[in-house]
A and B are shown apart, each in its own frame.
Chain A
Amino acid sequence: MRIFKSKEERGSLWSFGSIQIGYAAAFGGLAFAMRALGVGVPIAPGMLMDARDVVSIIGPGFSGLIGSIIIGILAALPSAVFSVQIYVPLCLMWALVFYFFRHPWYHVVNTILLLTVWNVNWAVWYQIFGFIPEFWVAFIASLTGAVVYIPTNIILIEVLRKYSPTAKRMIG
């Protein structure tokens, strides 16, 4: 089973036509709306695992590398804390994962990244903002989020691939 997509399957990394704009705008708007509505899974008092994070992980798979910047900006804006600098690099990372990896390998890569890079990124920013001064405490706090996102993403992608031919064509 091949891990990487072929050149034909990948297309251009920089393509940003009307279809990519459409997906970026739709998923960016969706992420924004979810945060504005406060949709999420309550894990502990004061801790809400944001449903917009799921959109910011899967959305870049549809919209490509440049479109993921739009999703990152729109997902970050309604936060209480300025977090564009956190979301945009993460969205770019997810876009690259869906660009290079075939199904179901992107699940494996996504899981590894959610357990490592994603947590490190949040832990570092928690420290910069001074929310949680200890790196490992911040890392474990964000790990609880990853535990929710990993199965949610896998289920969601599989269901979308099953019921939407467009989704299967776009994310592979």
Chain B
Amino acid sequence: MGLRIEVIPGESYLHKLDARPKFLLFLILTVVVIFFTDPIYVGTILVALLLLTRACKISVRKTAQIVKASSLLLVVYTLINLVMGPGNVEAAKNPSNILFYLIPTLNWLPVTPQGIVYSTALLLRFVIVIYLLQLVLFTTPVVDIVLALVKWKFPPSLALGTSIGFNFVPVFMNTARSIIDAQSCRGWRGLSSGNLVDKLKALPVFLVPLFLQGIESAQKIAVAIEARGFGYNIGKRTYRREIRLNSVDYGTLVIEVILLAGSTILWYAGYGTYMFTYSLLARMKI
């Protein structure tokens, strides 16, 4: 399951925020969480996001569904970082740091406290990135994203193509479902059954009609936009709704700049590494 592209209506701060500072907030927070490898620093950002979600009157459970859907990926990701993360690799050189082995019978894949702290921070980082993107999409209509692209000086034809593409998503979802049903009726066993070669053979059975449908739709779109005067001075195209930055948007932009600058300074000064939580735990003798 991927992200849900739907808007949950509301009148909150995040709903009213212009799409541009909202996407900048997403990008800046993604950069900020990449700076830090400490669970306390990253956890604080996650708590702030949960509070923001509550303030927007959006269900945390609904927003977190994307995290739940990615749980298998999260487990694999955490295990990889637990064993191969730099914190664990460095600490495992000293045998006194090793807590246990993931494969105890062979004494393979040692796990150290530093590795656990580091992988926890990276797990939280991953959760923040996917949670935040879902939160932004829940509060931003697609048309606002397209208008933001135009305001960011994207060519109007590019924004037009993106918006048409968005509008065609449900059409293709229905087409894909119909093709799956039609091919299943003909004895197609889907993409999940059999070995890798069987799966490879099964893929074109599904993709070829879908691509042919895509080609046909593309030609219809081209005729439709030509018929609506696409070729006539698209640069001067106007929109039914205009988006403008207001004082709240400017205030948010200032906060974003402060957040980015502050985090950069902390990172540059050496704060926010996994050793912070590790040393706290060591001092508490946990």
Contact of A29 among B84, B166, B208, B225 (CB under 8 A): B166
* A19 contact set on B, CB distance < 8 A: 218-219, 222
A152 touching B165 in the complex, CB below 8 Å, given contacts A77-B3, A131-B77: no
* A133 contact set on B, CB distance < 8 A: 80-81, 84-86
- Mark out the residues of chain A between 22 and 65 whose CB falls within 8 Å of any chain B CB in the assembled complex: 22-30, 32-43, 45-46, 51, 54-55, 58, 62
State how many residues of chain A have any CB contact under 8 Å with chain B.
Answer: 64
The stretch from B44-52, B124-132, B251-259 touching chain A is B124-132
A104 at interface by CB-CB < 8 Å: no
B269 at interface by CB-CB < 8 Å: no
- Once the chains bind, are A29 and B133 in contact (CB under 8 Å)? no
- Mark out the residues of chain A between 146 and 172 whose CB falls within 8 Å of any chain B CB in the assembled complex: 148, 151-152, 155-156, 159-160, 163-164, 166-167
B102 at interface by CB-CB < 8 Å: no
A9 at interface by CB-CB < 8 Å: no
* A81 contact set on B, CB distance < 8 A: 126, 129-130, 133
B160 at interface by CB-CB < 8 Å: yes
* B76 contact set on A, CB distance < 8 A: 46
Complexed CA–CA distance, A36 and B212 (Å): 20
Contact of A41 among B5, B70, B164, B191 (CB under 8 A): B191
Complexed CA–CA distance, A70 and B146 (Å): 11
B108 at interface by CB-CB < 8 Å: no
- Once the chains bind, are B2 and A66 in contact (CB under 8 Å)? no
A130 at interface by CB-CB < 8 Å: yes
- Once the chains bind, are A41 and B200 in contact (CB under 8 Å)? yes
- Once the chains bind, are A134 and B84 in contact (CB under 8 Å)? yes
- Once the chains bind, are A30 and B200 in contact (CB under 8 Å)? no
* B62 contact set on A, CB distance < 8 A: none
Min CB gap B168→A, angstroms: 3
* A32 contact set on B, CB distance < 8 A: 165-166, 169, 172
A-B CB pair tally, cutoff 8 Å: 209
> For residue B217, which residue of chain A has the nearest CB?
A26
Min CB gap A118→B, angstroms: 18
> For residue A66, which residue of chain B has the nearest CB?
B158
- Once the chains bind, are B207 and A54 in contact (CB under 8 Å)? yes
- Once the chains bind, are B214 and A27 in contact (CB under 8 Å)? yes
Contact of A46 among B2, B72, B218, B231 (CB under 8 A): B72
- Once the chains bind, are A46 and B200 in contact (CB under 8 Å)? no
- Once the chains bind, are B177 and A51 in contact (CB under 8 Å)? no
Complexed CA–CA distance, A35 and B165 (Å): 14
* A163 contact set on B, CB distance < 8 A: 208, 212
- Once the chains bind, are A25 and B210 in contact (CB under 8 Å)? no
The 8 closest A-B pairs by CB, nearest first: A29-B168, A22-B222, A28-B165, A22-B221, A33-B172, A78-B2, A25-B164, A26-B218
B residues with CB within 8 A of A:
1-3, 5, 26-27, 30, 34, 66, 69-70, 72-73, 75-77, 80-81, 84-86, 122, 125-126, 129-130, 133, 155, 157-158, 160-162, 164-173, 175-177, 191-192, 196, 199-200, 203-204, 206-208, 210-212, 214-215, 217-223, 225-226, 230-231
Known: A24-B161, A36-B2, A129-B126. 9 other contacts (CB 8 A): A26-B165, A29-B169, A32-B166, A33-B176, A41-B196, A66-B158, A69-B158, A133-B85, A159-B208
Cβ contacts A to B, 14 pairs, < 8 Å: A25-B162, A25-B218, A26-B217, A29-B164, A32-B169, A46-B72, A54-B203, A80-B3, A80-B130, A82-B129, A132-B84, A148-B199, A156-B211, A167-B211
